[in-house]
Amino acid sequence: MVPPDMSDPLDEYTNGDGAPRIVLETQGLSRWYGPVAALDRLDLVMRAGECVAMMGPNGSGKTTAAELICGLREPTAGWARVCGHSVHQEPEAVDARRELAFVPDTPLLYGDLSILDHLRLVAAAHGAADEGFPERAEHLLDLLDLCERATFFPPQLSRGMRQKTALACALIRPYSLLVLDEPVVGLDTRSVDALAGVIHDVVAAGRAVLLLTHSDAFAARVRTRAVRIDEGRVVDL
């Protein structure tokens, strides 16, 4: 489950007519390196309460798509908006970043901060270090089987534990869009099951999840719809 305090009612994620609001929209989103297209003209609309699985083999352009959507790379052409805010144009990009949480395929953690320190830092940075933080943190640590290692530092953790720490950091803060890039890599069966439960609960809480994965089996467990890409191009919607 998502942290109790962070499960806002679904109606906060609807338009005035009651339809789920658009959380992510891209049009012609592209990234070229010379004659090579890492991503070519991605058109995508995601609404609150959806889990869209972007599937494809390694090297198909999934990570490029994630980095463009999260504002970590500049597009060669096209645009992306999160909750109506341009990802690549300041000052709108600040508002876009507030609305999205990103878990990259390789966890990015501070070597001198414990798991619990990471949660405190992320919560404080996003205005979520209120009096309910201890309960939310404990909930996430228990959910992801990290309680016994809460005081451990990243060099003491396995690849899977580092991945779960990055996921906990994303979930401890407010967000409307959760972007997960190959999240099952390094996870054992129990942790994969827990992640599937997290995704279902995030969607049920009225948020959106963009899952980028080469695992068709895992995507089938959690997706509401799929986009398949290969060599940077959408080949199936």
The answer to whether 139 touches 4, Cβ cutoff 8 Å, is yes
37, containing H or E segment: strand 36-47
- What's the token pair of residue 32? 């070229």
Residue-by-residue DSSP string for 132-187: THHHHHHHHHHHTT-GGGTT--GGGS-HHHHHHHHHHHHHTS--SEEEEESTTTT-
What does the pLDDT look like over 15-72, one tens digit per residue?
656 678 999 999 999 999 999 999 999 999 999 999 999 999 988 999 999 999 999 9
Task: Give the whole-angstrom CA distance, residue 58 versus residue 229.
Answer: 10
Q: How many domains does the chain have?
A: 1
Assign 10 a pLDDT band (cuts: 50, 70, 90): very low
Pick from 29, 44, 25: nearest CA to 236:
44
Residues in the chain: 237
Q: What is the pLDDT of residue 55?
A: 95
The CATH number linked to 224 is: 3.40.50.300
150-183 per-position pLDDT tens digit? 999 999 999 999 999 999 999 999 999 999 999 9
Is the pTM of the predicted complex or chain greater than 0.85?
yes
CA–CA distance from 54 to each of 34, 63, 120, 143 (Å)? Answer: 25, 10, 31, 25
Identify the three-state secondary structure at position 27: strand
Domain that holds residue 105: 4-236
Residue 130 C-beta-side C-alpha neighbours within 13 Å: 8
**The pLDDT of residue 186:** 85
* CA–CA gap between residue 50 and residue 227 (Å, rounded): 13
How far apart are alpha carbons 51 and 83 in whole angstroms?
16
Distances, alpha carbon 6 to alpha carbons 34, 79, 128, 142, 176, in Å: 43, 29, 10, 16, 11
- pLDDT surpassing 90 at residue 226: yes
